[in-house]
Amino acid sequence: MSRKGILIVVSGFSGSGKGTLMKELLSRYPDAYALSVSATTRAPREGEQHGREYFFISKDEFEKMIAKGELIEYAKYVENYYGTPREYVEKKLEEGKDVILEIEIQGALKVKKAFPDTLLLFVTPPSAAELKERLVGRGTETMDVIRSRMDRACEEAEGMDSYDYLIVNDDLVTCVKEMHEIIQGEHHRSFRNKAFMKEIKEDLERLKGLKGED
């Protein structure tokens, strides 16, 4: 049975561990998944590389990509633009890979509207206190930015029930395993296997008509 790639959106509060989870998932199952690299107007954090974590571009370049229809979706998040380049996603899905977009909730809902078969996963830390600890512990933002991100988390929490699955990132290894199992299980949903069902129905009809052969 040929397998079609699933478009997967992973969202979650800033600091919930999405980036860490994605790295682990890709290193454990490198052949199963393709991670889309977004474009953003925010400045790179220490250790981030252009083309690896993000394509770091200017506001002008970002607006040109919007105008040319080169983004599947885009959104503004705490003063910066973030968007998903179309070409890579379409190519990898055609190759049969499951493509993961790690994007915030406004973008997630736009993707779901444009591609209704998208699987929506929401990552949360085990508690709000742990979220704050992780944001502070990461040490990449000022306290002001951390406050904005905690405010944004309150808004995003309102949208959690639009997602198909909630994934609690307590122990990292357990969480990666759960995420992989959810996605693999998703491949068995009947609506994702219409071509197979059609083929087996046709074959059953054909075989029913053949006489004398067991």
Pairing of strands 71-77, 80-85: antiparallel
Query: Of 132 and 187, which has the nearer Cβ to ligand ADP?
Result: 132
Beta-carbon count within 10 A of 91 CB: 12
Give residues with Cβ within 8 angstroms of 92, minimum separation 6.
5, 34, 36, 99
Query: Of 106 and 169, which has the nearer Cβ to ligand 5GP?
Result: 106
Give the H/E segment covering residue 166.
strand 165-168
Residues forming the site for ligand 5GP (CB under 6 A):
14, 38, 42, 73-75, 77, 82-84, 102-104, 106-107
Minimum distance, C-beta of residue 102 to ligand 5GP, in the bound complex (Å): 5
Give residues with Cβ within 8 angstroms of 152, minimum separation 6.
13, 14, 77, 78
Minimum distance, C-beta of residue 48 to ligand 5GP, in the bound complex (Å): 8
Which of ligand ADP, ligand 5GP, none is residue 82 near (CB under 5 to 8 Å by kind)?
Answer: ligand 5GP
Which of ligand ADP, ligand 5GP, none is residue 86 near (CB under 5 to 8 Å by kind)?
Answer: none
- Quickly list DSSP for 58-108: -HHHHHHHHHTT-EEEEEEETTEEEEEEHHHHHHHHHTTPEEEEE--HHHH
Which of ligand ADP, ligand 5GP, none is residue 75 near (CB under 5 to 8 Å by kind)?
Answer: ligand 5GP
Residues forming the site for ligand ADP (CB under 6 A):
12, 14-20, 134, 137-138, 169, 172
Minimum distance, C-beta of residue 83 to ligand 5GP, in the bound complex (Å): 5
Which of ligand 5GP, ligand ADP, none is residue 172 near (CB under 5 to 8 Å by kind)?
Answer: ligand ADP
CA-closest candidate to residue 111, choices 76, 91, 83, 69: 83
Query: Of 142 and 190, which has the nearer Cβ to ligand 5GP?
Result: 142
Pairing of strands 98-102, 119-124: unpaired
Which of ligand 5GP, ligand ADP, none is residue 118 near (CB under 5 to 8 Å by kind)?
Answer: none
Minimum distance, C-beta of residue 75 to ligand 5GP, in the bound complex (Å): 4
Q: Which residues pair with 50 in a beta bridge?
A: 54
Minimum distance, C-beta of residue 197 to ligand 5GP, in the bound complex (Å): 34
| Burial (Cβ within 10 Å: 0-12, 13-18, ≥19) of residue 114 | exposed
Minimum distance, C-beta of residue 79 to ligand 5GP, in the bound complex (Å): 10
CA-closest candidate to residue 138, choices 66, 62, 71, 45: 45
